[in-house]
Chains A and B, each alone.
Chain A
């Protein structure tokens, strides 16, 4: 593997890791989607929102960094997907705009729209955020309708290189069952993780009991949807890239990827076991189950995204023009930029260290009713 290919694989790993961390941190969204389901009293709702309110910015920042890292390392994806699947991305962004203000504004006096409205915003973000992101990620495996023609830049009257071949501009992804299955799976996973997080971090026994009860139901639905998606994913044809750079459909491509990359398969299996273990332990009342299922979900998503981009696979296939499909080779930044960004990436362990310190400092004691009065 030459330098550029190595760096392309490294950056696909980092982008995948950021995507995986994003899904894990979307337990915040899962928690928001459960405000009224778990919070039967105002006190409980306040405790739930305080618990996720300390973490929402981390999720938000991970999303922004995910976008920035994708832009820097694979700019053709940024250009093609964001400019083409316009409505999906705009909807996702709107969801996150609503979230950003709602935590701060919901309990403030003279907030114009009232507490309930801001909480409805949080509920919307909690449901639509994971659902839309999951559905959008689904297109990494099922494909999207776009055409890339780099020669267009030499046409002074119409120099745009990427165009979308469906007038719905991304919304059509929601009509593909596999995408929807993944979207729902992500939503359910965030709700599972939220139940586990609340059970660990809120000092209120009735609420903890409600979380454990809810966890059982959410886990059941999650396993049903996720395993259905996983089976169809393993059986589906994928988008392979030949040595000459031609993209073609290959039956059982993702199953082949797992066979070709045993380490990734191990990561996937360990991740699935940790998620399932976390669910079971959490249902039985083990306090730290969140720290089993959470990292497990990171491993699962990481393995799936690695399967999307590694092993000569087109990570963003075009069903409108197969040869327009994006691979980590044809969509990446140049060698110099990838190298420079790689040096910057060495700072990530330091970032993780201070996040861990802050997380531990804030979560050292579970949230009490009294604490909600202070904020």
Chain B
């Protein structure tokens, strides 16, 4: 019997991850820096000071360099749903395509139209029209993020659809549920707020570099003031939405939460791991003689509180999820992985029987069996329960990195606001802020690793695993394009860093305007 080459799945995943991670190097800076430069230009229009205009123009220059790379990597990402995940594109295209189309119509055109006015329109439109164009550019980028994150949130928690056995796909029946479900709203707020944090870290980092060099001091202090306030608000918002995100994950993706916490054996009154070290090479899908963690410093009851809002609330671990038998919040018993896989296979067989049925009675019986088991449809494609366990080390450590750095950014922005102009005397702090710049990207990437690695093996949670979502290609083709993209993106990233470095070294023209 013909079967999917698992290396094709791995390479398709690798290519999508590569593109997504590169894309996410540029998008958060666009979202964060965009708001900062729009605030600067607003100050220019309100005060009429040339200083603010030059400040805004400087950040716009860096925004433009970065924006181009975001666009370049973004187009690949959109089309990869078709090129590499063609079965996915049919199976849920009725639902998933809509946010992408709306993004294009509502957001991309706004962004691409007004960015041209922002860059080329300084002497062609009025001050206020220019300011509106700047804000509309960033509003467009943010709306774009909304629809992409709606699509992503839907993959993590598919709602608002029904399976149609005649067309063999899921079809949308509730647009509001797709576009405004709790997961989408929280994901959008968390992701955009964290992007604002990244943008602000970049601004304060570059500004501190100027202070270290003794250049553009007024510009640096003004930029730090704006970015530190905005960054502090954004960092607090990120923490707040992160908490809600955790609660939603506990409800909808318990395996992801268990992986992020390194929780093999769950129970009541679970503590949250503050710091921990996993035992290397351990099999997280099977019981082991020794403890799966080498070091575990916990905050007692905190995980139960986060997941259930009760100190004694029950949080399942990886073993519990695989073996089932515990009581779910709705009072029913959780099925084991084996049972889910069996029911998944029954759903798939019922679909085949439905399509082969020649009389209405057989069709109705097959449809009934399909409906009864459809919640587990995706499990039918899995080979063994261990397939349900994502990479625990990657999810666990990424989660810790993200949370710890998120906390650090709050302290950083608060510290800069306390120090105000005195930061000029603290060279160590200045160095610290400059060196924080890459940490913002590290936190941002770690967040996506938690979100995406933690939900494996699913392309769509519970409905379609990666193995059933791919395009039928030769592995060699995907390997080739993987390396083409890797070389191209890396080359262009190095070019961008060089250009940005030069632009920063040249600096803003605020001193000329002051003179």
Chain A residue at minimal CB-CB distance from B471: A83
Q: How far is the CA of A75 from the CA of B98 in the complex (A)?
A: 10
- Residues from chain A with Cβ under 8 Å of B124 in the complex: 361-362, 364-365
A55 & B472 in contact (Cβ 8 Å cutoff) = no
A67 & B113 in contact (Cβ 8 Å cutoff) = no
Chain B 79-95, CB-CB to A under 8 Å as 1, else 0, gives 10111111101110111
- Residues from chain B with Cβ under 8 Å of A108 in the complex: 65, 499, 502-503
Q: How far is the CA of A96 from the CA of B74 in the complex (A)?
A: 11
B105 & A65 in contact (Cβ 8 Å cutoff) = yes
B351 & A57 in contact (Cβ 8 Å cutoff) = no
- Residues from chain B with Cβ under 8 Å of A375 in the complex: 119-120
A286 at the interface (CB under 8 A from B): no
Whether A348 touches B105, Cβ cut-off 8 Å, given contacts A60-B112, A365-B124, A375-B119, is yes
- Residues from chain B with Cβ under 8 Å of A177 in the complex: none
Taking a contact as CB atoms closer than 8 A, the residue among B68, B108, B133 that contacts A61 in the complex is B108
- Residues from chain B with Cβ under 8 Å of A244 in the complex: none
A78 & B472 in contact (Cβ 8 Å cutoff) = no
- Residues from chain B with Cβ under 8 Å of A159 in the complex: 4, 87, 381, 468
Taking a contact as CB atoms closer than 8 A, the residue among A68, A101, A155, A157 that contacts B495 in the complex is A101
Q: Which of A87, A104, A340, A351 has the most CB of B within 10 A?
A: A104
Chain B residue at minimal CB-CB distance from A117: B495
A344 at the interface (CB under 8 A from B): yes
A187 at the interface (CB under 8 A from B): no
Whether A97 touches B75, Cβ cut-off 8 Å, given contacts A76-B90, A159-B468, is yes
The dominant DSSP class at the A interface is helix
A83 & B86 in contact (Cβ 8 Å cutoff) = yes
Chain A 334-345, CB-CB to B under 8 Å as 1, else 0, gives 101100110011
Chain A residue at minimal CB-CB distance from B495: A112
A153 at the interface (CB under 8 A from B): yes
Taking a contact as CB atoms closer than 8 A, the residue among B2, B65, B93 that contacts A79 in the complex is B93
The stretch among B43-51, B171-179, B271-279 that forms the contact with chain A is: B171-179
A64 at the interface (CB under 8 A from B): yes
B75 & A100 in contact (Cβ 8 Å cutoff) = yes
B287 at the interface (CB under 8 A from A): no
The stretch among B236-244, B251-259, B450-458, B486-494 that forms the contact with chain A is: B486-494
B197 at the interface (CB under 8 A from A): no
B69 at the interface (CB under 8 A from A): yes
Chain B residue at minimal CB-CB distance from A11: B101
B100 & A71 in contact (Cβ 8 Å cutoff) = yes
A111 at the interface (CB under 8 A from B): yes
A154 at the interface (CB under 8 A from B): yes
Q: How far is the CA of A150 from the CA of B71 in the complex (A)?
A: 34
Interface residues of A in 42-81 (CB under 8 A from B): 54-55, 57-58, 60-61, 63-65, 67-69, 71-73, 75-76, 78-81
Chain B residue at minimal CB-CB distance from A351: B109
A361 & B3 in contact (Cβ 8 Å cutoff) = no
Chain B residue at minimal CB-CB distance from A76: B90
Taking a contact as CB atoms closer than 8 A, the residue among B83, B484, B499 that contacts A82 in the complex is B83
Q: How far is the CA of A314 from the CA of B115 in the complex (A)?
A: 39
Q: Which of A84, A103, A345, A364 has the most CB of B within 10 A?
A: A84
A154 & B355 in contact (Cβ 8 Å cutoff) = yes
Q: How far is the CA of A347 from the CA of B351 in the complex (A)?
A: 39
- Residues from chain A with Cβ under 8 Å of B474 in the complex: 167
Taking a contact as CB atoms closer than 8 A, the residue among A57, A100, A111 that contacts B115 in the complex is A57
The smallest C-beta distance from A300 to any residue of chain B, in angstroms, reads: 23
Q: How far is the CA of A314 from the CA of B104 in the complex (A)?
A: 26
Interface residues of B in 52-80 (CB under 8 A from A): 64-65, 67-69, 71-76, 78-79
- Residues from chain A with Cβ under 8 Å of B94 in the complex: 75, 333-334, 337
- Residues from chain B with Cβ under 8 Å of A155 in the complex: 352
Interface residues of B in 216-249 (CB under 8 A from A): none
Q: How far is the CA of A322 from the CA of B206 in the complex (A)?
A: 61
Taking a contact as CB atoms closer than 8 A, the residue among B81, B82, B111, B472 that contacts A81 in the complex is B82
Question: Using a Cβ–Cβ cut-off of 8 Å, how many residues does chain A contribute to the interface with B?
Answer: 78
Whether A65 touches B101, Cβ cut-off 8 Å, given contacts A79-B86, A336-B173, A354-B110, is yes
- Residues from chain A with Cβ under 8 Å of B172 in the complex: 333-334, 336-337, 340
Q: How far is the CA of A183 from the CA of B436 in the complex (A)?
A: 50
A100 & B71 in contact (Cβ 8 Å cutoff) = yes
Q: How far is the CA of A336 from the CA of B501 in the complex (A)?
A: 50
The smallest C-beta distance from B120 to any residue of chain A, in angstroms, reads: 5
Interface residues of A in 309-328 (CB under 8 A from B): none
Whether A156 touches B75, Cβ cut-off 8 Å, given contacts A163-B472, A358-B114, is no
B288 at the interface (CB under 8 A from A): no
Q: How far is the CA of A84 from the CA of B501 in the complex (A)?
A: 41
Chain B residue at minimal CB-CB distance from A367: B120
Taking a contact as CB atoms closer than 8 A, the residue among B83, B167, B380 that contacts A83 in the complex is B83
Chain B residue at minimal CB-CB distance from A81: B82
Interface residues of A in 353-375 (CB under 8 A from B): 354-355, 358, 361-362, 364-365, 375
The smallest C-beta distance from A280 to any residue of chain B, in angstroms, reads: 31
A101 & B82 in contact (Cβ 8 Å cutoff) = no
Q: Which of B73, B82, B502 has the most CB of A within 10 A?
A: B82
The smallest C-beta distance from A148 to any residue of chain B, in angstroms, reads: 9
The smallest C-beta distance from A13 to any residue of chain B, in angstroms, reads: 15
Whether A362 touches B121, Cβ cut-off 8 Å, given contacts A83-B82, A105-B68, A110-B502, is yes
Taking a contact as CB atoms closer than 8 A, the residue among B76, B93, B116 that contacts A55 in the complex is B116
- Residues from chain B with Cβ under 8 Å of A160 in the complex: 4, 86-87, 468, 470-472
B78 & A79 in contact (Cβ 8 Å cutoff) = no
Taking a contact as CB atoms closer than 8 A, the residue among B78, B81, B117, B496 that contacts A64 in the complex is B78
A57-B112, A89-B82, A156-B348 given; 12 more Cβ-contact pairs under 8 Å = A57-B116, A79-B90, A97-B73, A97-B76, A104-B65, A111-B498, A158-B3, A162-B471, A333-B97, A336-B175, A337-B98, A361-B117
**What are 7 sample pairs from A and B whose C-beta atoms fall under 8 A apart?**
A61-B109, A65-B104, A68-B100, A80-B86, A160-B470, A162-B90, A336-B172
3 pairs of A and B residues whose beta carbons are closest in the complex = A75-B93, A83-B86, A82-B82
A interface residues with partner B (beta carbon < 8 Å): 54-55, 57-58, 60-61, 63-65, 67-69, 71-73, 75-76, 78-84, 86-87, 89-90, 93-94, 96-97, 100-101, 103-105, 108-113, 150-151, 153-164, 167, 169, 333-334, 336-337, 340-341, 344-345, 347-348, 351, 354-355, 358, 361-362, 364-365, 375
